[in-house]
């Protein structure tokens, strides 16, 4: 990996949900490009998968942060802003995915999904705002959405609703904060081959579905989505602010083969 231009790598990137899965991959991809990364997770112990090199570890700041707790968010972001370069970027990656038939899905479970995926992201963005606004060379928030925000997906009502709400929040924040030099972009992946989804994606009928329904014929790899997300911060996002970028291999726009 090549390092990003120092004009963009100055300052710290906070990544929520950075201990596992896509969040861990994003943190690694950023560190490989020369960014200093605040790896925020409930445990605060850093990456739980993979073993970054000593050089990359030096660019990672491991902090405890529960996105459903406003005080926890405020403390973590204040700690990062107190470091050299200050807080310049936020990647709202933390999220949960609860499946269930809508006729049986409880309000408590629905609320739990929204609390983490939407309210947690909003609270983190709001807490980051004064620090990002103070940056003199521009700053950005990247929200990790999902292509489920525009699909009809049985047993995914809560998750799909949360990602649609995240996209709407993204547009509103972009409109409000552009004048403050803060770009806000929503990255919406499709299916990702992570440890959580691997058994499902390995089923023969699922592989056959991807072969006939998805132009690239397969799900995304977490490192691919992480690489794309990290590369966004290597350039000026001003003209992309408010946009949702679907990184699903054409899944959500393709008719598929019959």
| Count of beta carbons in the 10 Å neighbourhood of residue 146 | 30
Nearest to 118 by CA among 155, 152, 77, 169: 169
CA angle centred on 157, ends 152 and 162, rounded to 5°: 105
CB 189 within 8 A of CB 146: yes
DSSP character at residue 184:
E
Nearest to 33 by CA among 184, 239, 226: 226
Element holding 72 (H helix, E strand)? helix 70-81
Buried (b) or exposed (e) across 81-98, using 16+ Cβ within 10 A?
beeeebbbbbbbbbbbbb
Ramachandran quadrant class, 86 (left: phi over 0; alpha: psi -120 to 50; beta: rest): left
Out of 89, 129, 131, 159, the active site residue is 159
159 among known catalytic residues: yes
Nearest to 11 by CA among 127, 143, 177, 132: 132
Q: Which two tokens stand for residue 100?
A: 């269930």
Give the torsion sign (CA, 164, 169, 172, 174).
negative
Beta strands in 11-138 (DSSP E): 12-16, 36-41, 60-64, 87-92
Which residues are tagged catalytic?
A: 159
């Amino acid at each position: 990996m090549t390092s990003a231009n120092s004009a963009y790598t100055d300052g710290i990137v906070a990544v929520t949900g950075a201990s596992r899965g896509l969040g861990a991959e994003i943190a690694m991809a950023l560190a490989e490009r020369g960014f200093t990364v605040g790896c925020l997770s409930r445990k605060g112990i850093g990456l739980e998968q993979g073993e970054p090199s000593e050089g990359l570890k030096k660019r990672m700041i491991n902090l405890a942060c529960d996105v459903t707790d406003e005080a926890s968010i405020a403390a973590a972001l204040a700690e990062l802003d107190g470091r050299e370069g200050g807080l310049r970027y936020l990647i709202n990656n933390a999220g949960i995915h609860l499946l269930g038939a809508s006729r049986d899905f409880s309000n408590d479970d629905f609320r739990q999904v929204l609390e983490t995926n939407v309210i947690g992201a909003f609270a983190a963005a709001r807490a980051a705002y004064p620090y990002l606004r103070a940056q003199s060379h521009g700053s950005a928030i990247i929200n990790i959405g999902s292509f489920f925000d525009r699909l009809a997906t049985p047993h995914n009502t809560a998750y799909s609703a949360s990602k649609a709400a995240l996209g709407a929040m993204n547009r509103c924040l972009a409109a409000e904060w552009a004048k403050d030099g803060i770009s806000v972009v929503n990255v919406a992946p499709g299916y990702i081959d992570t440890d959580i989804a691997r058994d499902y994606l390995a089923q023969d009928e699922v592989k056959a579905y991807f072969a006939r329904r998805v132009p690239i014929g397969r799900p995304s790899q977490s490192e691919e989505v992480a690489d794309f997300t990290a590369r966004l911060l290597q350039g000026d996002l001003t003209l992309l602010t408010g946009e949702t970028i679907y990184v699903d291999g054409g899944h959500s726009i393709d008719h598929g083969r019959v």
